[in-house]
Amino acid sequence: MDMPLSPFEPVSAASARPARPRSPVRLQALLFILTAATTFAAGVVGWQPMLFGVDDTLPTDIGPHWQRGLAYMAAVMAVLAAHEAGHFIAARIHGIPATLPFFIPVPVLLTGTMGAVIGMEGSRANRRQLFDIALAGPVAGLVVAVPLLAWGMLSGAAVPTTDNPFALPLLARGLLAWVRPDLAPATTIAPNPLFMAGWVGLLVTGLNMIPISQLDGGHVAYAVFGRRGNWLARAVLLAAIATIVVLGQYNWVVMVVVVTLLGVDHPPIRDEDRPPGPLRTLLGLAAFLIPILTFMPEPLAID
């Protein structure tokens, strides 16, 4: 999961030029290396969804699969780096102080990572700047993730749907029908490094574009609607809690708790009463389709 843009280190408003927050480079380098290692390991073991009850065993012949791990590591790190680079570059263009990304290694997850996060002086942005910075990350990530996903679909072997437990969002389903019209009914693509890197990219993007709190979607909602965006965030949180209870999707409880601790409402920004303009408003409304097309509430399709 890609974490939200958030304030990192205050910078004096009296500064003539916005200063870039000091980044703990050693920590960032260590997290990058650890995330590369955990994603490599996830690819080597074949993305075993052990924690979800699909398989409780690890493959014993992991040695021959180092190339799979290396390819997955490179591809998924490229997706995450592109996402964070989109935020960082947009922030720098607008003169908003931002840090380099902090990658998040999680060895117990089948993906090997929960994404990455940058620190940003969000309170210094106006609604137009906030919109550009927030949307640049998901767009940049999708520019890398979608071609990787398509490549993985083209090069992957066809298998029965029961042999690939990873659910496909609407965007991936349409892409699969387009690039692999040869697939017979009830078949899909076997997990492979590029397919899985693209899959992770869609999951990260869809999750981040949910319009709540300081997720990317929350930034976009606040940029488009101003303080009224907080009502949308509260409604989304209540809907998420109701969905978890009704459908029994308790694997998302941790995510809801994290978002709640971050704060459901968006913090104040500069020039809140100045709208972002008609073009950004239209793009923002269209951007709310991104989580619908890329997010899967149940990432594993367990029969």
- Note down pLDDT in tens along the chain; length 303 residues: 334 333 333 333 333 344 555 568 899 999 999 999 999 999 998 887 544 444 444 555 566 688 999 999 999 999 999 999 999 999 999 999 999 999 999 887 889 998 999 988 888 999 999 999 999 999 999 999 999 999 999 999 999 988 888 999 999 999 999 999 999 988 999 999 999 999 999 999 999 999 998 899 999 999 999 999 999 999 998 888 888 888 777 777 777 887 778 788 898 898 888 899 999 999 999 999 999 999 887 887 654
156 in a structural domain = yes
Residue 62 has a pLDDT of 62
| Measured distance CA(232)–CA(89) in Å, rounded | 28
| Measured distance CA(195)–CA(199) in Å, rounded | 6
| Measured distance CA(302)–CA(60) in Å, rounded | 23
CB 78 within 8 A of CB 140: no
- Range list of β-strands (E), 211-270: none
CB 262 within 8 A of CB 218: no
Q: What is the pTM of this model?
A: 0.85
Give which of 201, 229, 245, 273 is closest to 39, Cα–Cα. Answer: 201
Total structural domains within the chain? 1
192 in a structural domain = yes
Give the domain extent around 77: 25-211+278-294
233 in a structural domain = no
Residue count (the chain): 303
97 in a structural domain = yes
Residue 21 has a pLDDT of 53
194 in a structural domain = yes
43 in a structural domain = yes
36 in a structural domain = yes
Query: What are 24's strand-pairing partners?
Result: none
229 in a structural domain = no
